[in-house]
Amino acid sequence: MDRRTLLKVGALAGVAAALPVEKLSRAFTGTARAADPAPALEIPRFTLPLRVPTVLRPTRRTHDADYYDVTMRRARQLIVPGTRTPIWGYEGTFPGPTIVARRGRLVVIRQTNRLPEPSAVHLHGGNVPSESDGIPGQEIEPGRSRLFHYPNHQPAATLWYHDHTHHMEARNTYLGLTGLYLITDPEERRLHLPRGRYDIPLVLQDRSFNGDGSFRPPDPDKGEFAGEVMLVNGTPRPYLEVAQRSYRFRILNGSSADNLLDLRLSDGLAMHVIGTDGGLLPAAVRVSHLPIAPAERIEVVVDFRDVPRGSHIVLTGRNLLGQDVDVMRFDVVAAGHHHDRLPTRLADVSRLDQARATVRRSFTLNLNRQTGTMQINGKDFDPDRVDIRPKLGATEIWTVVNGEQADLPIPHVFHTHLVRFQILDRDGRPPAAEEAGWKDSVPIPPGGRVRLIMKFGDFPGRFLYHCHLLGHADAGMMAQMEVVR
Ligand code: C2O
Ligand code: CU
Ligand code: CU
């Protein structure tokens, strides 16, 4: 493979192909970085406070709809003290503003592109009409606007919106084009989960920096598969002051590279998983560590009530190479008063019935070593080709295989637009309880196989499915469905 193809294929694939696998881990141990002459920025660790993206105010409300205006533009943002980082952001911020929607209430967003290049906007996890999905052909040219209609016919969940420009999504999201989109509903509110300032989104995004403060994408030729430092809501390794009570954290792994993480809190503090991509779980699941792949959302409740004041709880993420990366720190500074117990039952998640499935499909995801492209069922993405035609209302079972071999251990993260799915099994075994809710993105390790069940609901038309390691999607690992009547 030539250098360009390597870059396109995405970090880990490129590295693995370029280096014999024995050298892989050595390439990451830092010797390459020591030899690097670029002046390194001093990146703070646990000294900057966590910021929470602002909630966008509608420009207009009617009895059944909220209207928003969003402008995509370039800006310089204070990320590392002493320097300003050029970003591309919704409303010129990174991450962009959060949109809070209510189930059953239409949201209409006018996106205006003031960037130097076209951009498509996708609502990840949204059950939306095809014209609002942000698929190829829906790019907004510089200086133009486009309306997006999001009906929110789906349960309370943590969604996100991000760039989906054909072949450019990895770069464009790396430059900052990401934001949260939260759906709430009455069932969720009745649960009395921690709310307001105790309901905090944590958008995890890895980045590296040039000496002048600009973002530097990971360079596979240098053995980099992810950025050097983790940002949370746009701040490197921040801290958050918390009280001795429980918090709801909506965690999004918004990394664009191969940054699969296994999150863990120090001091053995547990996390209680209450929701996944598509909504709340039937019941909370207590975990001591939490794998989260790019594009996945996991909601947890963490209870600091028994943590002594003055304690520092560090959240780390173990990456693919087994290194523990600092994510952020929770500083327990105040007594808490409000002690709502987690309800034993959260949401009704009706299991989709396998007996109802009328169609079965299989997909194999793998790097084509001849062409250097990433493929689904042996094909590169072609926006002019329709790969499958599910029927409106049909229940389908999809078997998705990560076809990579042991000598090139590339993970994939399979994502469907439009439909949420349930995992039937992983390598023949039922999913863990914390993976058994509604999903739209699922990591599949090399050689792994998952079976997914989904029901095509409200909208006909074209939608995408793809690997959500965005470098892989850019390199061809994407396909198109047309939902037909
Ligand atoms: Cu985050 Cu095509 O999606
Ligand atoms: Cu999506
Ligand atoms: Cu992939």
- Checking if the pLDDT of 2 tops 50, the result is no
Whether 426 lines ligand 1, by a CB cut-off of 6 Å, is no
Which protein residue has the closest C-alpha to ligand 1 atom 3? Answer: 124
How far apart are the CA of 417 and the centre of ligand 1, in A?
7
Name which residue sits closest to atom 1 of ligand 1, judged by CA.
124
Task: Identify whether the C-beta of residue 336 lies closer than 8 Å to the C-beta of residue 309.
Answer: no
Percentage with pLDDT > 90 across the chain: 84
Query: 19-23, 343-347, 466-470: lowest mean pLDDT where?
Result: 19-23
User: Over 50: is that where the pLDDT of 356 sits?
Assistant: yes
pLDDT 10s digits, 429-448: 999 999 999 999 999 999 99
User: What's the 264 CA to ligand 3 centre distance in angstroms?
Assistant: 24
Q: Is 415 in the pocket of ligand 1 (CB under 6 A)?
A: yes
Confidence class for position 7, pLDDT limits 50, 70, 90:
very low
Q: Is 296 exposed, middle or buried (0-12, 13-18, 19+ CB in 10 A)?
A: buried
Instruction: Write down the pLDDT at residue 258.
Output: 87
Does residue 51 register a pLDDT over 60? yes
The answer to whether the CB of 417 is under 6 A from ligand 1 is yes
Q: Name which of 84-93, 316-325, 417-426 the model is least confident about.
A: 316-325
Rounded mean pLDDT of 396-408? 95
Per-residue model confidence (pLDDT) at position 458: 85
Ligand 1 centroid, distance to 5 Cα (angstroms): 22
pLDDT tens figures, 38-49:
567 889 999 999
- Does 378 have pLDDT greater than 70? yes
CA 295 to ligand 2 centroid distance, Å = 8
Q: Of residues 19 and 84, which shows the higher confidence score?
A: 84
Residue 124: CB within 6 Å of ligand 1? yes
**How high is the pLDDT of residue 213?**
94
pLDDT of amino acid 33: 39
CA of 417, closest atom in ligand 1: 2
Ligand 2 center to 122 CA (angstroms):
6
Tell me if 162 CB under 6 Å of ligand 1.
yes
pLDDT bin (cut points 50, 70, 90) of residue 339 is low
- In this prediction, residue 256 has a pLDDT band, given cuts at 50, 70 and 90, of confident
Q: What is the mean pLDDT of residues 95-109?
A: 98
Give the pLDDT confidence score for residue 219 in this predicted structure. 81
pLDDT at 14 over 60: no
Mean pLDDT, rounded, of the chain: 91
Q: Report the atom number in ligand 1 closest to the C-alpha of 125.
A: 1
Q: State the pLDDT at residue 221.
A: 75
Average pLDDT of the residues in 382-398: 97
Q: Has residue 10 got a pLDDT over 70?
A: no
- Centre of ligand 2 to C-alpha 441, Å, is 8
* Nearest atom in ligand 1 to 478's CA: 2
* Rounded average pLDDT over 220-232: 85
Confidence of residue 226 (pLDDT cuts 50, 70, 90): confident
- State yes or no: pLDDT of 177 exceeds 90: yes
Beta-strand relationship, 412-416 and 441-444: antiparallel
The pLDDT score that the predictor gives to residue 340 is 72
395 CA distance to ligand 2 centroid (A)? 19
pLDDT of residue 257: 83
pTM: 0.92
* pLDDT recorded at residue 36: 46
pLDDT above 60: residue 26? no
- Please tell me if the CB atom of residue 472 comes closer than 6 angstroms to any atom of ligand 1: no
- pLDDT tens digits, one per residue of 320-331: 889 999 999 999
Q: Which residues surround ligand 3, an ion (CB under 5 A)?
A: 412, 467, 469, 472
The share of the chain scoring above pLDDT 70, in percent, equals 92
